[in-house]
Chains A and B, each alone.
Chain A
Amino acid sequence: MDTRKKIKTDNNKTKHPQYGMVVDLDKCTGCGACSVACAVENNQQPATPDMCSRTGNTWRMMYKVKNGEPFPDTKAVFVPMFCQQCDDPPCKYVCPQNAVELDPMTGIVAQIPERCFGCRYCHAACPYEARYFNWWDPKWPEGMEKTLNPDVSPRMRGVVEKCNFCHGRWQSARAKAAAEGRRELREDEYKTACQESCPTEAITFGDLRDPDSKVSKLVKDPDTFTILGRLGTKPKVFYRTTRSWVRRTVDRDIYSENKEKVHG
Chain B
Amino acid sequence: MDKQLQVRGTTRMEFRKFITYLIPWFIVLGIGLYAMYLVFRYGLNHTNMDNRFAFGLWIYFDLAIIALGAGAFFTGLLLYVFKREEFKSVINSAVIIGFICYSGAIAALVVDVGQPLRAWFTLYRPNAHSMLAEVTFCLTLYLAVLAVEYVPIVLKNRKLKQIPSFLVFEFKLHKFMPILAGIGALLSFFHQGSLGGMFGVLNGQPFSFRETVLVFPSTFFLFILSAIAAGPSFIMLTTWLVSKISGKKLVTKNVFMSLGKISGILLLVYVLFKSIDSLYWLNKTSPAVGFTVADHYGYAPFGIWILLLEVIVLGLIPALILINKKFREKMHWLLTGAFLACAGIALNRFVTTIQTLSLPTLPFADFLTYSPTWEEVAIFLMVIAYGVIVYSFSFRYLPLFPQERELNSK
By a beta-carbon cutoff of 8 Å, the part of chain A in contact with chain B is: 50, 52, 54-55, 63, 65, 79, 81, 90, 93-98, 115-121, 123-129, 131-137, 156-160, 227-228, 230-233, 249-253, 255-257
Contact = CB atoms under 8 A, between A and B. Distances in A.
Contacts of B112: 119
Contacts of A160: 114
27 contacts: A79-B364, A96-B127, A96-B133, A96-B136, A97-B133, A117-B116, A117-B121, A121-B132, A124-B357, A125-B204, A127-B204, A127-B205, A127-B361, A128-B362, A129-B365, A135-B43, A135-B45, A135-B50, A136-B43, A136-B45, A156-B115, A158-B115, A159-B115, A230-B290, A232-B203, A232-B289, A255-B363
Contacts, number: 165
Contacts of B362: 63, 81, 127-129, 227-228, 252
Contact of B205 (A52, A54, A124, A135): A124
B410 to A, nearest CB: 53
Given A93-B130, A127-B205, A117 B45 contact: no
A124 B289 contact: no
Interface string B105-117: 0000000111110
Taking residues whose C-beta sits less than 8 angstroms from the other chain, chain B's interface range is 35 or more
B53 interface: yes
A65 B125 CA distance: 42
Interface in B114-164: 114-116, 118-119, 121-122, 125-127, 129-133, 136
A253 B288 CA distance: 10
Contacts of A126: 204
B40 to A, nearest CB: 10
Given A54-B50, A96-B133, A157-B43, A115 B121 contact: yes
Contacts of B202: 90, 94, 124-125
A117 B43 contact: no
Interface string B306-321: 0000000000000000
B51 interface: yes
Contacts of A98: 125-127
B289 A95 contact: no
Contacts of B363: 227-228, 249-252, 255
- Describe B's contact surface by its main secondary structure: loop
B43 A125 contact: no
* Residue among A98, A156, A157, A251 facing the most chain B CB atoms (10 A cut-off): A98
B53 A135 contact: no
A117 B203 contact: no
B356 A117 contact: no
Contact of A121 (B45, B119, B126, B198): B198
Interface string B359-376: 001111100100000000
B396 to A, nearest CB: 37
B114 A233 contact: no
A125 B205 contact: yes
Interface string B195-227: 000110111111000000000000000000000
Given A117-B121, A230-B289, A253-B290, A123 B51 contact: yes
